């Protein structure tokens, strides 16, 4: 219902607005309107203008060389080929089709202004690609392949199988507005060279390459992915469980193919939706990643969220179930939402590649000013090669007790000026946070506590300030909160029992 309301609202407004522009860093529903036109999302059409085709009566390929709307039904052992003047648009309404190609794509758009695929209500449609063909130096074998823009709408189902190449591919802009789309591919699942915009639908991808990807670089306003809404599930390779564990340094796996969940050459923006990733490589990967909404879970064989430049979390719920580094970028900025990370290496890591490190203009830092951040890390909890600033929000950290590992590590300046910080550890009072300046910090021992039991901090009025479940044993607690002035009473509870009760005294 939420998805339908969003598209209905945006569609109504799209009648008034809508020339494609590059999305800014902060996007709203109004901004999204500029990224598509009414025909991209509107599944209705004029019956009187439709060309009806029973593919079961066609021998070989079915070719379309005139613009218009084509209603396709039936089974075809061949290809549907679209080649019309470059200013013309073609809509294919799929109403129970099965197209299996012996060679190349099942649906092959060679030339048009745009191909629109409409999935008829209650229909189940299947596309299977054949062996690759070579066209102008390109190897083509995606089940649904477009040289130009591609939009998919309608409430029906589309099953895409590509044994040799990508599942769905546009060499321009790709929009998914609705539908139940299932992709199985030998390489990338869904690929829009210039951009990918997901407005809704239920999308399931199983890919041996990347799940959803945009590849264009070196050109303004291209190379981005935006997920405005929808239910998305992506599995790449053998998933996180079958992937080689990330190294202690969080380096990427050495594999012959990229197997990331959702990867953008430039910018990746998540506005809303439900997203589940189980990936052999990074879960999310881009130059810049922005998350302002949605319910997201990531199991990754490498980094949960990786950005070459910046990760920004403003809202939503992000759960990294398994990862090398949980969040990794030159700059990690969290101002809202809920972030819960479990990692085999660092939980949140602000770092740069060697070639970036040579540039004095590259700023490196972790900044937490709001939201809730929970980290269970076998490496460092929060690790910055530059500055670390906590000015608000709620932060809970547990780290594995090993030499050289710390809960909060930074090479620049560490400042704690607001919010609530609770560290559970077996590393003693310092635990890598001794040089944090600003707000008072108190460290004290507690009886040894078992793993995965919820620890909570409450003030004298019984208000809970923070709670989380450390992933391992702990016998030391370090806390700081702007809600606990010097001398104020508090209690610490674990598994429903009070393990410490006293007054706050910075030490």
pLDDT tens digits along 211-240:
999 998 877 789 999 999 999 999 999 999
Q: What is the pLDDT of residue 19?
A: 29
Check if the beta carbon of residue 171 is closer than 8 Å to that of residue 139.
Answer: no
Q: Among residues 251, 283, 287, which one has the least CA distance to residue 266?
A: 287
In a domain, 374, yes or no: no
Output the DSSP codes for 75-125.
EEES-EEEE--TT-EEEEEEEEEEEE-SBS-SEEEEE-SEEEEEE-TT-EE
Q: What is the pLDDT of residue 23?
A: 46
The SS3 assignment for 420 reads strand
Query: What's the half-sphere exposure (Cβ side, CA atoms, 13 Å) at 329?
Result: 25
In a domain, 145, yes or no: yes
Check if the beta carbon of residue 318 is closer than 8 Å to that of residue 372.
Answer: no
Query: What's the half-sphere exposure (Cβ side, CA atoms, 13 Å) at 148?
Result: 18
**Residues in the chain with pLDDT values less than 50:** 1-3, 5, 8-25, 245-255, 360
In a domain, 93, yes or no: yes
Residue 472 exposed, middle or buried by CB count within 10 Å (0-12, 13-18, 19+): middle
In a domain, 138, yes or no: yes
Condensed to tens digits (0 to 9), the pLDDT of residues 439-478 reads 999 999 999 998 889 999 999 999 999 999 999 999 999 9
Q: What is the pLDDT of residue 406?
A: 79
Distances (CA, A) of 185 to 214, 257, 259: 16, 13, 12
- What range does the domain containing 176 cover? 37-187
In a domain, 213, yes or no: no
Q: Where are the beta strands (DSSP E) in 120-201?
A: 124-128, 133-135, 138-140, 144-146, 149-154, 157-162, 168-170, 173-176, 180-185, 190-192, 195-198
Q: Pull the structure tokens for residue 463.
A: 């208000």
In a domain, 162, yes or no: yes
Q: What is the pLDDT of residue 220?
A: 73
In a domain, 224, yes or no: no
Overall domain count for the chain: 1
Check if the beta carbon of residue 286 is closer than 8 Å to that of residue 267.
Answer: yes
Q: Among residues 186, 241, 243, which one has the least CA distance to residue 210?
A: 186
Provide Rg for the chain, Cα atoms: 26
Q: Where are the beta strands (DSSP E) in 208-257?
A: 212-214, 224-227, 231-236
Q: What is the pLDDT of residue 257?
A: 84
In a domain, 383, yes or no: no
């Amino acid at each position: 219902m939420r998805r339908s309301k969003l598209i209905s609202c945006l569609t109504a407004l799209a009648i008034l607005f809508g020339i494609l522009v590059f999305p800014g860093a902060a996007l709203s529903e109004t901004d999204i309107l500029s990224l598509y036109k009414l025909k991209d999302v509107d599944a209705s059409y004029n019956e009187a203008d439709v060309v009806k085709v029973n593919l079961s009566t066609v021998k070989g390929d079915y070719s379309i060389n005139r613009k218009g709307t084509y209603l396709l039904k039936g089974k075809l052992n061949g290809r549907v080929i679209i080649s019309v003047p470059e200013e013309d648009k073609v809509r294919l309404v799929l109403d129970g089709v099965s197209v299996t190609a012996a060679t190349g794509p099942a649906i092959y758009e060679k030339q048009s202004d745009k191909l629109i695929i409409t999935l008829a209500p209650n229909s189940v449609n299947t596309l299977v690609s054949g062996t690759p063909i070579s066209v102008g130096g390109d190897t083509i074998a995606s089940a649904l392949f477009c040289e130009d823009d591609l939009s998919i709408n309608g409430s029906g189902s589309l099953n895409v199988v590509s044994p040799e190449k990508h599942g769905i591919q546009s060499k321009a802009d790709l929009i998914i507005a609705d539908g139940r789309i299932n992709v199985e591919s030998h390489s990338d699942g869904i690929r829009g060279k210039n951009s990918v915009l997901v407005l809704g639908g239920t999308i399931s991808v199983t890919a041996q390459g990347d799940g959803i990807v945009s590849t264009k670089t070196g050109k303004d306003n291209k190379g981005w992915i935006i997920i405005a809404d929808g239910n998305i599930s992506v599995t790449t390779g053998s998933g996180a469980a079958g992937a080689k564990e990330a190294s202690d340094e969080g380096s990427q796996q050495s594999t012959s193919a990229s197997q990331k969940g959702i990867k953008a050459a430039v910018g990746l923006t998540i506005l809303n939706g439900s997203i589940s990733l189980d990936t052999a490589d990074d879960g999310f990967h881009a130059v810049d990643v922005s998350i302002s909404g949605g319910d997201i879970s990531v199991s990754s064989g490498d980094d949960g969220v990786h950005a070459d430049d910046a990760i920004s979390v403003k809202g939503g719920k992000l759960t990294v179930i398994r990862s090398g580094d949980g969040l990794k970028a030159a700059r990690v900025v969290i101002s809202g939402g809920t972030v819960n990370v479990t990692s085999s290496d660092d939980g949140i890591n602000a770092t740069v590649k060697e070639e970036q490190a040579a540039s004095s203009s590259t700023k490196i830092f972790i900044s937490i000013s709001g939201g809730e951040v929970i980290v269970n890390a076998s490496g460092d909890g929060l690790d910055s090669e530059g500055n670390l600033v906590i000015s608000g929000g709620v932060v809970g950290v547990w780290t594995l007790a090993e030499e050289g590992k710390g809960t909060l590590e930074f090479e620049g300046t560490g400042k704690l000026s607001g919010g609530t910080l609770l560290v559970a550890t077996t590393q003693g009072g310092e635990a890598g946070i001794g040089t944090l300046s600003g707000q008072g910090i108190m460290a004290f021992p507690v009886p040894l506590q078992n793993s995965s039991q919820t620890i909570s901090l409450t003030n004298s009025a019984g208000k809970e300030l923070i709670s989380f479940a450390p992933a391992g044993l702990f016998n030391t607690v370090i806390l700081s909160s702007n809600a606990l002035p010097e001398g104020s009473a508090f209690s610490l509870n674990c598994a429903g029992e009070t393990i410490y009760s006293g007054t706050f005294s910075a030490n």
